[in-house]
């Protein structure tokens, strides 16, 4: 019993350490214990801004959990309020479902957003649902047409490791094929009976 609870404690703490991180653009701040605090993981003061491109931008996250969901929202203005983030969450600028822990580059295109014009201050919010908790991070940016300060090399899509989804997909394809064969066989039998 004692061993069991120690094991579960270790499991919990390692899971807690591996939540996720916002790797780019730079986070306003990350604190494991405050990440559950909306809207910015406990960091309420606007930080340094980096340039974020209006077209072909991206958000780089590192997800430590399987079966998690990442939403990226954007709130415009110099210091968006909690209400601004709530409104922004109605129309995420990117969303991703993560099956296995990995680094993921989420592309963001703001050209369809009327508020996104050259030289607009905004805050990008990452809402990470790990299946148990909702974890928040923010990044303060200035949206620009030509973002020379934006580092394109930070976009990394790590190949999923562990059980490969392709095996399941292949098995599913085979079973679909055999189901189709069965249907054909039934139809042929019916045709012969006539």
Ligand X SMILES: *[C@@H]1O[C@H](CO)[C@@H](O)[C@H](O)[C@H]1NC(C)=O
Residues that bind ligand X (CB under 6 A): 49, 78, 121
CB of 40 to ligand X, least distance (A): 15
The minimum distance between CB 65 and ligand X, in angstroms, equals 32
Report the alpha-carbon distance of residue 53 to residue 73 in Å, rounded.
15
Nearer to ligand X by Cβ, of 78 and 181: the residue is: 78
Are residues 108 and 122 in contact, defined by beta-carbon separation less than 8 angstroms? Answer: no
| CB 80, min distance to ligand X, A | 12
CB of 121 to ligand X, least distance (A): 4
Of 73 and 120, which CB lies nearer to ligand X in the complex structure?
120
CB nearer to ligand X: pick between 105 and 144? 144
Neighbours of 42 (CB within 10 A): 16
Q: How far is the CB of 78 from ligand X (least distance, A)?
A: 5
Q: Which is nearer to ligand X, 147 or 155 (CB)?
A: 147
Least Å from the CB of residue 110 to ligand X: 16
User: Which CB sits closer to ligand X, 141 or 155?
Assistant: 141
Whether residue 73 contacts residue 61, with contact meaning beta carbons closer than 8 Å, is answered with no
- Which lies closer to ligand X via its Cβ, residue 6 or residue 117? 117
The DSSP code sequence of the chain is: -HHHHHHHHHHHHHHHHTSEEEEESPPS---TTTTTSTTTTT--S----EEEESSSEEEEEEE-SSSEEEEEEEEESSS--HHHHHHHTTS-SEEEEESSSEEEEEEE--TT-TT--TTEEEEEEEEEE-SS-EEEEEEEEEEESS-TTS-GGG---PPP-SS-HHHHHHHHHHHHHHHHHHHHHHHHHHHHH-
Q: Which residue is nearest to ligand X (CB)?
A: 121
């Amino acid at each position: 019993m004692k061993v069991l609870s120690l094991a579960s404690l270790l499991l919990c703490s390692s899971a807690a350490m591996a939540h996720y991180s916002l790797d780019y653009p730079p986070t306003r701040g990350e604190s494991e214990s405050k990440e559950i605090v909306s809207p910015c993981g406990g960091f309420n003061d606007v930080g340094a801004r980096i340039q974020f491109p209006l077209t072909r931008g991206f958000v780089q996250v590192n997800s430590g959990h399987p079966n998690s969901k990442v939403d990226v929202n954007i709130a415009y203005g110099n210091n968006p309020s909690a209400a601004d983030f709530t409104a922004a969450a109605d129309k995420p600028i990117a969303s991703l479902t993560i099956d296995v822990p990995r680094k993921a580059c989420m592309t963001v295109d703001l050209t369809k957003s009327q508020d996104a014009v050259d030289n607009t201050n905004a805050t990008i919010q990452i809402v990470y649902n790990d299946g148990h908790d909702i974890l928040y991070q923010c990044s303060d940016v200035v949206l620009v047409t030509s973002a020379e300060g934006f580092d394109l090399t930070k976009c990394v899509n790590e190949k999923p490791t562990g059980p490969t989804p392709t095996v399941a997909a292949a098995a599913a394809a085979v079973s679909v094929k055999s189901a189709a064969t069965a249907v054909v066989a039934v139809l042929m039998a019916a045709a012969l009976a006539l």
